[in-house]
Amino acid sequence: MAESNASVIDLALDTLRKEKQAIIFVNTKRSAEKVAEDLSTKLKELSPVAQEMSEKVLHSLQKPTVQCERLAKCVRKGIAFHHAGLVHHQRELVEEGFRSGVVKIIAATPTLAMGVDLPAFRVIMRDVKRYTHQGYTFIPVLEYHQMCGRAGRPNYDTYGEAISIASTEDEREELIDRFIKGKPEAIYSKLAVEPVLRTHLLSLIASNFVNTKKQIMDFFEQTFWAFQYKDMHRLEMIICKMLDLLEEWEFVVSNAEDFKSAGELEDTKYRATFMGKRVAELYLDPLSAFHLVTCIRKSTSRQIVPFSWLQMVSNTLEMRPLLKARTREYDQIQQVLVEYDSKLLQDEPSMFEPEYEDFLNSVKTAMFFHDWIGEKEEDYLLKTFDIRPGESRAKLDIADWLLYSAEDLARILQFQPLLKELERVRVRLKYGVKEELLPLIRFKHVGRVRARMLFRNNIRDVGDVKKADLATLTQILGKQTALSVKEQVGQELEPVKPGKRKGQIALHDYRE
């Protein structure tokens, strides 16, 4: 055990002796799990309430992953870890457990300080540095305060403790100077970040909030961004560049041509196209929207498979950070590339171009999605792609949104044959099922597991469900679900429930 961990554990044990609670902040998900685990091995099993909670934690997914087992084991001792890799339900369980006092100590990444309001008697700051693109650097003072701010529970404690750990006297001085005496860093406007600017510019035009170039400039002159940078000339140049792009991408139209000779560019009028309005409504970054449009147009000249769409949505800013293609995985990714070479909607950039790495990452991300709709289990995904359930849910959510957007754009661009295809991929992604389970997944209370069980028992569509007798269905699905499914095909074998017409088929989230 690392030395710093030993002192962290001591502090945590001391907190327990005082019959108080603590949050330990660390800088990686792995560390959070490790600290919680190390601590839990030093403790005895707790109350039956903790056992009960541990069971809930373990069965938050269809099938427990190693992560679930690890957390469940800690919770049994009143310890937990908390980071974005946990599924929403597990995070809630941990937070709730802490509030009710079942969980005494949480080892967490900054997630816990960001959203949730979870005060503790003691906050232990194990790490005050974090790896970023600039190297291993101190966390912002603002964030340090945010985390320490969790110390002290307003209605229970008269005071709280936030403890940082230094290994030398010099380090102690540095921590005090930087985080306690030091000023929080200034806040800078993010409007100058291109994706943000693009999105806002388009939405301003689409909502008719501004129309002429003069109005646009007047608007941005009033923003915090302009106030901070004061360089309106540079700002104007950036905005003009953006406007040109939006026009080139056919999200806005202008009458700029009319003014070419007159020199009255200020009066140039901008108006969003139908597609531009939709892009703004979907809250898409126009660059991503253009990427989707380009892919949709290209789709007619390619042999399209689900992987094509998965790679398309993977290569967007929204999907970042992408799964990282490791050096030792290059061979495997190359194999996939060979297989899907002619089927991708984006040409492979040259190995020497800067976007090549992102391209490989997007392929790896698509491989993850592909395995998910190939009915691979979460535990497999965790081991293969190093993506935890909470993270994979977040990615799937974004993919769903982008595919929905793509579907909408395809409709606007009159690519009708694509609609069904995109919808199918969307449903498959939502439930994580192979193509053949699509008819079954439409039933309420039937997810990937039950659908697969039905399929294995030769019940493969609505007709089969109708034909199957209740006993068989009950054996496969259990009594309640079997009855529900039968009801959904219009065979009510129990007293008719009010409000539901006979013969009505419940089609949730998916229409043929």
Q: Contact residues for DNA (CB under 7 A)?
A: 1-2, 4-5, 26-31, 33-35, 83-85, 109-111, 114-115, 127, 129-132, 135-136, 143, 281-283, 318, 320-321, 324, 326, 328, 386, 394, 397-398, 400-401, 404-405, 507-509
Torsion of CA 173, 178, 183, 186, to 10 degrees: 170
**If you write DSSP's letter for every residue of 157-215 in order, what string do you get?**
-S--EEEE--SSHHHHHHHIIIIIISPPPPP---TTSHHHHHHHHHHHHHTTS--BHHH
Q: Nearer to DNA by C-beta: 115 or 263?
A: 115
Copy the structure tokens of residue 250: 């056919």
Least distance from DNA to the Cβ atom of residue 508, Å: 5
Q: Which is nearer to DNA, 77 or 83 (CB)?
A: 83
CB of 110: closest distance to DNA in angstroms? Answer: 4
Write down the least CB distance from residue 10 to DNA, Å: 15
- Nearest distance from residue 497's CB to DNA, in Å? 17
Residue whose CB is less far from DNA, 133 or 230? 133
Radius of gyration for the chain, computed over Cα atoms and rounded to the nearest angstrom: 27
- Least distance (Å) from DNA to the CB of residue 155? 26
Number of H helices, E strands in the chain: 26, 9
CA distances from 126 to 6, 9, 11, 148, 373 (A): 11, 10, 11, 12, 39
Closest approach, Cβ 135 to DNA, in A, equals: 6
* Paired residues of 132 in beta bridges: 135
CB count in 10 Å sphere of residue 54: 24
Q: CB-wise, 157 or 174, nearer to DNA? A: 174
Q: Between residues 22 and 344, which has the closer beta carbon with respect to DNA?
A: 22
Residue 71: partners with Cβ closer than 8 Å, 6 or more residues away: 33, 36, 57, 58, 80, 81, 86, 90, 94
Q: Closer to DNA at the Cβ: 16 or 84?
A: 84
Q: How far apart are CA 306 and CA 298, in angstroms?
A: 15
Structure token pair of residue 182 = 């030091």
What the block records as the tokens of 170 is 């010099």
For residue 217, give the H/E element and its range: helix 213-221
Q: Which is nearer to DNA, 63 or 444 (CB)?
A: 444
Output the smallest distance, CB 138 to DNA, in A. 11
Nearest to 194 by CA among 273, 323, 288: 288
Minimum CB distance to DNA smaller for 60 or for 109: 109
CB of 324 to DNA, least distance (A): 6
